A and B are shown apart, each in its own frame.
Chain A
Amino acid sequence: MKFTKTLAAAAAMGLALSGSAYADADPVKAGFIYVGPIGDLGWTWTHDQGRLAVEAEYGDRVETSYVESVPEGADAERVMSQMARSGVDIIFTTSFGYMDPTINVAAEFPDVAFAHATGYKRAENVATYSARFYEGRYVIGQIAGAMTETNKIGYIASFPIPEVVRGINSAYLAAKSVNPDVEFKVVWVYTWFDPGKEADAANALIEQGVDVIMQHTDSPAAMTIAEEKGVYAFGQASDMSAFGPNAQLTAILDNWGPYYIDRVGAIMDGTWESTDVWDGIGAGMVGIAPFSDKIPADVQALATETIAAIASGELHPFTGPINKQDGTVWLADGEVADDGTLAGLNFYVEGIDGELPN
């Protein structure tokens, strides 16, 4: 088995040298490195769905492999090296913490392409990609603002990093735009995935009079609590209506398939190069799940309009006038936040109570 493979590789090399298109017969190999188990129903699961979409798209022309629950750090570096040594053509490293390991390993394997999710360091053979989840947050923020009766919206936040702060600001601006009396209650749980803590946070928020819950954590725990207590919530990363058939209003969907298909295709026709992709609703990287029929028709219509406006680029969630929490001007009237500022966003916008942990 190993022998025939070596032979094939040798033959491929010979043919490649003679300028033939032998490579077409050899499937492109794509490796994926996951931070969680593929059964987490959240972040890792959505990436694995993307991997399966690649397989469905290319069939025999592609071979995928993955390693799940890889700790960030030395282990990640080893797994990437092993994958690169095993002859994969492109490796997708799907967690922020893989940033430095990816850069280190990529330097050792210049012939292998790497794509790192949610990071900001690139190289000749390291691309980055991320999704504009704040666009989805704007849509659900608007729905939340329209649906709340207590005017209190709860937000279960993971870590005070730009990605999460962006989401809170975007959702707040959207909610405020339809309901000037709205108030946000943010709970920091300092974890991406801990059903126990997420459930505790949901309970605490409901006790404070919150009747709509948003989350930036991965488990369906808060959804389950919302269902129990009869309040509304939004699915995170995937459709969670199975956990809250009455509670879920809609969900933000992570859809990595199109990006993975595109990039693996680029490897196939030899056009791959290091790119920085930050796509949102328009490109289909961020999706919105079907609306619950609990949302009144006029609110549904408004949300649909917002989705279309964001997709076409007509509406940017961060368009001035917007002040920072301390009252100083961030964006003047009509000014749109640039990607650089958004990537490092570390302050609340005006109107959000509470202090951003620092």
Chain B
Amino acid sequence: MLRLEQRQQPSKLMLYLTPVLAVLTTMAVGGLLFVALGIAPGRAIYLLFIDPFVDSYNLSQLFVKASPLILIAMGLSIGFRAGVWNIGAEGQFIMGALAGGAVGLALWGMTGWWILPLMAVAAALGGALWGLIPALLKIRFNASEILVSLMLVYVAENFLAQMVQGVLRAPDGMGFPESRNLGRNEPTALPDVFPALGINAGGVTMLVLLALAFFLLQKHALGFQIKLTGDSPRAARFAGVKPGVIIALCLGVSGAAAGLAGLFELTGAAGKLTIDFPLGYGFTAIIVAFLGRLNPVGILLAGVVLAGTYIGGENAQFMLKLPAAAVTVFQGMMLFFLLGFEILINYRVKRLRRAV
């Protein structure tokens, strides 16, 4: 029999090393997977983990993928630290894009520098309000925010489908369910800032917000209260922290971040609202948040690594005939090893001898 026993003093160093270890183990086990699939493991690992960060075209796509993941993960990490589990970032992402996109479409034909910022405000509000629904239900009725936020993803998806069939549909699109192209319309298109890495105005906003989150969590009293609520809710209550405020704040902030990510995706990479607009960033961001140890710097690195595996995975598909599912298996493996190592760092495995 085996038993897990809590370690008195988990190694700090190992705690920081776990993401690196998880990536390395994923490479090793992934290599075995490739051998089983009859694919040269060295080349596959190169394409998945190295090529995305050295090839200039791949680099120009890196933050196109990484920015939304990092922005959403940053918002989620604040809640996760407080023990507020927002699983519905995907829905908030959609509602943000819808709210911001609707503003952009309503102002179609107008010009002005203020249009894009106004759309961003609408998107953040849209995402935040969608995030506040589970917060209110949690505060008022103690409904599980995990279930409510997740279920609201499906509501948002269907709402999006309804909107692009209806009021937001492009008048000159021959009846196809999609909006006008906001990415090809000067006043609503997100400008590029650093195209060599795929960083546009949304990417810059993401980096600024990330720095703010770092400050909030490390230096501000609110960051301390959030962490305290997560570590010890009882102690937090004695310290005068109002749990309802923390819940609303966490879900509102993570909703706003996801909503902004949705708008940046819409006005940058995607261009228009379609039924297939959401790509699952809201769910993948959960992996990013944990891979980054809920730490802003870690999330930045984790987002970049995961974005790399997406880009490398596409290339590996047509260069090596790697099945698409193998890439998903890879991402899953990374989270699995990360969580596994974390347990082994916090706990030791003890063999139990049966008493005779």
List the interface of chain A (C-beta within 8 A of B). Answer: 31, 37, 65-75, 78-79, 81-83, 85-86, 96-97, 100, 120, 159-162, 190, 343-344, 346, 357-358
Contacts and interface: CB of A to CB of B under 8 A. Distances in A.
B325 A37 contact: yes
Contacts of B181: 100
Interface in B242-298: 265, 268-272, 274-277, 279
Contact of B321 (A65, A86, A160, A190): A65
23 contacts: A31-B318, A37-B324, A65-B318, A67-B318, A68-B317, A70-B314, A71-B276, A72-B276, A73-B270, A73-B274, A82-B57, A82-B318, A85-B57, A86-B318, A97-B274, A100-B181, A159-B165, A159-B275, A160-B177, A162-B174, A190-B161, A190-B165, A357-B165
Interface residues on B, range: 35 or more
A299 B190 CA distance: 59
Nearest to A162: B175
B205 interface: no
Greatest chain B CB density within 10 A among A37, A68, A72, A96 is at A72
B270 A160 contact: no
B169 to A, nearest CB: 9
Nearest to B184: A100
B311 interface: yes
A185 to B, nearest CB: 20
A161 to B, nearest CB: 5
Contact of B271 (A65, A73, A78, A159): A73
Interface of B: 57, 61, 64, 158, 161, 165-166, 174-178, 181, 265, 268-272, 274-277, 279, 310-311, 314-315, 317-319, 321, 323-325
Nearest to B310: A75
A161 B270 contact: no
A1 B57 CA distance: 21
Main secondary structure of the interface of B (DSSP, over half): helix
B164 to A, nearest CB: 10
B174 A343 contact: yes
Contacts of B319: 65, 86
A294 to B, nearest CB: 36
Contact of B324 (A31, A69, A97): A69
Greatest chain B CB density within 10 A among A78, A79, A86, A346 is at A78
A294 B310 CA distance: 49
Given A67-B324, A86-B319, A96-B176, 4 more contacts: A65-B321, A68-B317, A74-B270, A97-B276
A290 B317 CA distance: 36
